[in-house]
Structure 1
């Protein structure tokens, strides 16, 4: 699923990350390009029957839901989002308009529940995670993937750290995001009684023209006007960051893609 012009109108759907923005589909594609290989590796290593029922919660632009239909051609794949405009033309999936904050599913509805780049942006993330466990049948899997910006806060590069902190502040104030939450995912699944817990991480670097670099740049560009309006950054900051990223001598870790999974008893 994966922010607003003013912090008073908090919430993802009215934010600069919302689907109504002209560049949002292209930005989501950069996220998919960065994250899909890791997501696919996770599913490939799990023991999931070919006839499973799979929920992709907050499916965004739908690349993983589409892939799941080919990876498990006998499965029933349900893709949900609060805004399904990018999902409706994908063949072979069931599409449901669904608000993860308020809408539920009956207990034990799915063999697999997956969410990616969703819960970090929802202030109700802990409650949603708890409820998502109940949607999984005994023996099934919960797979949660999200983005951590810890590397960009730990960098020795002061400009990257300044830009990253501004973005985190904007996300916190306008959406309620927690961009460090992903680092705790294995413990969160363990606390909810799941077994066979595992996790994998993938470092995302900027300045190397990698998929993570493209995703970071697209998100920063989309946030730019709001960062300026709220005076979290200046145009000089944004220009300097763009110039540094384009410098062939520059490359630094900016984010971590985190995947965690566990089996419901």
Structure 2
């Protein structure tokens, strides 16, 4: 596995989370299994036209984009990513290579603009959110979903707390991530003038063999070499955490999946 040079410019595409890693697709699949039920529930409650134009920004491995094309068979579903290697072969979607940090879409292009597990990792997140709201047609929806690691930082377990803090520090240093930003999403949408703002959360636990547990374990394993290289953890720390997670008596909330949505006001 490629490790991170601490002197490199921070960024997702050069980090341990980038798509070139051998285990990245499998890791993204664990994220999908954990997050898809919440995402689907949010879309099921939105009032959309019969033939909606939907943008899935930073679509990753494409499970939600594929689901959207089936959920709304008359929709135009556009799935974008800076690296689209995992989006090929998904029926019913249009795939575009797109850098959300530097590229835009024309105003009022979509009935829904959706981004999941994306903006927390981009330093331009505030600007992207502002621009994304302009891509939504009047009466349409901006749906932003992200992961908060707040629960793992509050744990009283010293091993888990050390590993969690090291993970947050690694994300900040090598990518520029803000893993508490998701908690601010409803306010972020209101600040941009959206109406009918709502949000849902889903607790993700570790130590219980749940989809969230699998996602957490896959991400921690992929981060392991970088955590060691930057001396944020030792091998003993990683082994202690693996033993703790395997302990039948241990389970703990590790993260929160946050979904927030808001409607662009209708004209007149």
TM-score (norm 1): 0.98
Secondary structure at the aligned position of 1:8 is classed as coil
Determine whether 1:53 maps to 2:53.
yes
Look up the match of 1:221: 221
Determine whether 1:114 maps to 2:111.
no
Tell me, yes or no, if the aligned pair for 2:78 and 2:94 is still in contact at 8 Å: yes
Alignment of 1:22-41 (within 5 A): 22-41=22-41
**Matched length:** 263
**Aligned-pair distance for 1:4?**
5.6
**Aligned-pair distance for 1:88?**
1.5
Tell me, yes or no, if the aligned pair for 2:55 and 2:79 is still in contact at 8 Å: yes
Distance 2:157 2:109 in 1: 47
Task: Describe the superposition over 1:208-232 as per-residue Cα deviations: whole angstroms up to 9, x where unpaired.
Answer: 0000000000000000000000000
Alignment of 1:1-265 (within 5 A): 5-9=4-8, 10-265=10-265
Secondary structure at the aligned position of 1:177 is classed as coil
Secondary structure at the aligned position of 2:186 is classed as helix
Task: Describe the superposition over 1:90-125 as per-residue Cα deviations: whole angstroms up to 9, x where unpaired.
Answer: 111000000000001000010000000000000000
Task: Describe the superposition over 1:193-216 as per-residue Cα deviations: whole angstroms up to 9, x where unpaired.
Answer: 000000000010000000000000
For structure 2, the 5+ residue unaligned runs are: none
TM-align CA RMSD: 0.8
Distance 1:183 1:6 in 2: 30
Q: Once superposed, which parts of structure 1, at least 4 consecutive aligned residues long, lie more than 2 Å away?
A: none
TM-score (norm 2): 0.97
For structure 1, the 5+ residue unaligned runs are: none
